[in-house]
Amino acid sequence: MKNLLSEKVEQMMEWSSRRSVVRMNGDKFRRFVKAPPRNYSVIVMFTALQPQRQCSVCRQANEEYQVLANSWRYSSAFSNKLFFTVVDYDEGADVFQQLNMNSAPTFMHFPAKGKPKRADTFDLQRIGFASEQLAKWIADRTDVQIRVFRPPNYSGTIALALLVSLVGGLLYLRRNNLEFIYNKAGWAMAALCVVFAMTSGQMWNHIRGPPYAHKNPQNGQVSYIHGSSQAQFVAESHIILLLSILYVERKCFIMRFIQVDAAITMGMVLLNEAATSKGDVGKRRIICLVGLGLVVFFFSFLLSIFRSKYHGYPYR
């Protein structure tokens, strides 16, 4: 029994020396994680990383998991008391069936003694999958303290430096004529663009990383609008963007709105302009018709998308 245990520990240490996260199939999982004897704890991430699974959350969780495993592997406290492993659905579907698991990603702790308890399953939905949260959960379950070390990321600093350089360069080129800084219409358009960008779903795409579209493997049909109100495809934002680019020439000023909401807003602005301006009656009538057309067309388009995502609409 001791020889078997020492062989298992030695094998796990060898695998961990090559990779911080040990990949396991069904046979390895049953032998090194489930079967006794075992005097070490194992953290297992059950996931589905293959591209055909289209699990963007799995990829994001895997990145955080790798950061945590590397922090443990290269720390001075590293020992043979804790190992990080991963079971991919396409490599260990039998493990998923054995554990009655139907969702991914899922993090579980298999203690050195006894069976996993309810608290040994990480509450991903409530806490999230950040490395720091996983490390805190592991400390609660194993008493192993892991200090998370993240690799430096200079992309934000570089982007900010480029933006400051670009703005500074433009101001330097226009240093003799800075009247545009006091242009109220320009600042209003910039503020609207920021508001529309924040409410259009672009931020959700950045955080959740959804697929661009979905192709049905049975009939090959591609869906660009997600059928659920709880998710969306990247294509949805792009479709709205492409259908709602609006150029309005007025007083030699071109305004570009990049959201359907902006088109509706522009329609309301034109309606207000037609009602309050004191210009030519014919011109005001044209402005009124254009504004009314924008509101009716783009609001109807918004309702059609809303109906496709909220199947119970109109509610009764």
Stretch among 59-68, 138-147, 259-268 having the lowest mean pLDDT: 259-268
Q: What is the per-residue burial (b if ≥16 Cβ within 10 Å, else e) of 93-102?
A: eebbeebeee
Q: Work out the mean pLDDT of the chain and round it to a whole number.
A: 81
pLDDT at 253 over 80: no
d(CA 299, CA 265): 10
Q: Give the model confidence (pLDDT) of 101-137 as tens digits.
A: 888 899 999 999 888 999 999 998 888 888 999 999 9
What whole-number distance in Å separates Cα of residue 146 and Cα of residue 64? Answer: 14
Q: Does position 244 have pLDDT exceeding 60, yes or no?
A: no
**Is the predicted pLDDT of residue 156 greater than 90, yes or no?**
no
Mean pLDDT across the stretch 241-261?
Answer: 41
What pairs with residue 83 in β-bridges?
42
Is the model more confident about 151 or about 21?
Answer: 21
Contacts of 146 (CB under 8 A, 6+ apart): 68, 71, 72, 75, 77, 135, 138, 139
Give the pLDDT band (50/70/90) at residue 312: low
Cis, bond preceding 314 (omega within 30 deg of 0): yes
Please state the pTM of the whole predicted model. 0.57
| Residues 309 and 225 sit within 8 Å (Cβ to Cβ) | yes
* pLDDT of the residue at 121: 94
What's the angle, vertex CA 193, arms to CA 187 and CA 199, rounded to 5?
A: 140
Going from the C-alpha of 20 to that of each of 5, 38, 70, the distances in angstroms are 21, 19, 6
Residues 48-72 have a mean pLDDT of 90
Model pLDDT for residues 168-225, shown as the tens digit of each residue: 898 888 788 877 777 776 777 777 677 766 666 777 777 766 777 777 666 777 877 7
Q: Which pLDDT does position 294 carry in this prediction?
A: 78
